[in-house]
Chains A and B, each alone.
Chain A
């Protein structure tokens, strides 16, 4: 196996182990954290704002879990090269190492949360559907998208640290416009079109269709996040290579 790939896998596993060993509750946090996160939104939307309808809770939780995977990966990747400053001053590393470790680590945690979500859905009374078999495919599409956006963020933030504010607010805007709280298909006209430019919208819709509606996702619409993912991945890798030996000079 390629040396760097082996190193990335080893480091991601080691980081997960470290994370699990921290705090009194350790690995239990992997369960508690998503539960608390989802609980907060449940209280706001289902209890306080009395939003709802049939299956509102599973519908909301699915959106949240899927979004959080994307959001955390991009945010953490954005600062990853700066955090690795000490390391890259001592040894040469291809800089994609830093975001790659973060992406793998978050993806492993996502899989864990996904299992929890599936358990919850079963307890809630959802029925296992044939469409669940294709979940890995949608997962792969989202992985491509979040990987690409994370690589671009990782490459650009060290060059212009001010962009971090743009990333933070951009992610927040994307979150509110991603249809985690409302059904994007209800919006018509230019606003609906604008909303669908957010590549996470088709992804979240696909997850919901397969998990909750026993529907096949809209494959044509999913081409957009796949295309965006492929383009950002190429751009991110190009930038990280271009500035490979420049990042260690930045203070």
Chain B
């Protein structure tokens, strides 16, 4: 199968320090290669601070890599970000439109699915109130419901599985699992090896900014677990 997205030897350097002097760099990503096929769920595993978030930013097109190349077959990848661009003084409805548009959905589509957003977030009585009056849980519910409707070609998920109170946490985690299991294309970043075994088709293992293994989920995850034990 032909990949819809491929990264080859991608590296990203951040400047360290400001000013005219002391302009050195630190490589957040050194050398990462991976490929993604339509409909699959690719896991990215690695310890804290190995550049997983930077990697997702590169894939989402937020930053350009300093070296290596990206081949994109014309797809739009975006992170599952919650409460993007929320403004406290605006109502839930206005924030849903604003946030949805920031996530790339046309305004007409968000308005068309507004009823679903309201129903899923269980905010029927509050949707026309300013979100500044919402509790943290209510905001999280609205943010999640909007993000789920954004529907990019490739969804990038960074550890957010389940938000809000116990009841909604279950419901949102279930919705995400469903989305991942469907024939949508997803890249999932997580520490939770058990969950990744369950959800991912293939996994890339990143160690100190380099992709050191890519393959079948069970195979890579076993190797990863073995290395973390030793």
Contacts and interface: CB of A to CB of B under 8 A. Distances in A.
A6 B109 CA distance: 13
B90 A18 contact: yes
A91 B104 contact: yes
B63 A249 contact: yes
B139 to A, nearest CB: 15
Contacts of B89: 17-18, 21-22
25 contacts: A3-B104, A7-B107, A10-B97, A10-B98, A10-B107, A11-B85, A11-B98, A14-B90, A14-B94, A18-B90, A21-B89, A87-B85, A87-B102, A89-B62, A90-B79, A91-B84, A91-B104, A92-B60, A92-B78, A93-B102, A245-B61, A246-B63, A246-B64, A248-B57, A249-B15
Contacts of B64: 245-246
A38 interface: no
Interface in B58-75: 60-64
A18 B101 CA distance: 18
A88 interface: yes
A249 B60 contact: no
Which 4 A-B residue pairings sit nearest by Cβ, starting from the closest? A245-B64, A90-B81, A18-B89, A7-B101
Given A18-B90, A245-B63, 10 more contacts: A6-B101, A10-B101, A10-B107, A14-B98, A91-B79, A91-B84, A91-B102, A92-B62, A245-B61, A245-B62
Contacts of B106: 3, 6
B55 to A, nearest CB: 14
Contacts of A248: 57, 62-63
Contacts of B103: 91
Interface of A: 3, 6-7, 10-11, 14, 17-18, 21-22, 87-93, 245-246, 248-249
Contacts, number: 62
Nearest to A6: B107
B175 interface: no
A89 B79 CA distance: 10
Interface string B6-23: 000000001100000000
B4 interface: no
Given A6-B107, A10-B107, A17 B63 contact: no
B199 interface: no
B87 interface: yes
B61 to A, nearest CB: 5
B129 to A, nearest CB: 13
Nearest to B102: A91
Contacts of A17: 89-90
A88 B85 CA distance: 10
Given A14-B90, A89-B57, A91-B78, A3 B101 contact: yes
A251 B15 CA distance: 9
Interface string B77-118: 011010011010110001001100111101100000000000
A18 B85 CA distance: 13
Best-surrounded residue of B14, B57, B98 (most CB of chain A within 10 A): B57
A181 B62 CA distance: 46
Nearest to B76: A92
Contacts of B107: 6-7, 10
A7 B78 CA distance: 17
Contacts of A245: 61-64
A124 to B, nearest CB: 37
Contacts of A22: 89
A14 B94 CA distance: 8
A90 B103 CA distance: 9
Best-surrounded residue of A7, A91, A245 (most CB of chain B within 10 A): A91
Contacts of B84: 87, 90-91
Contacts of A7: 101-102, 107
Contacts of A246: 63-64
B13 to A, nearest CB: 9
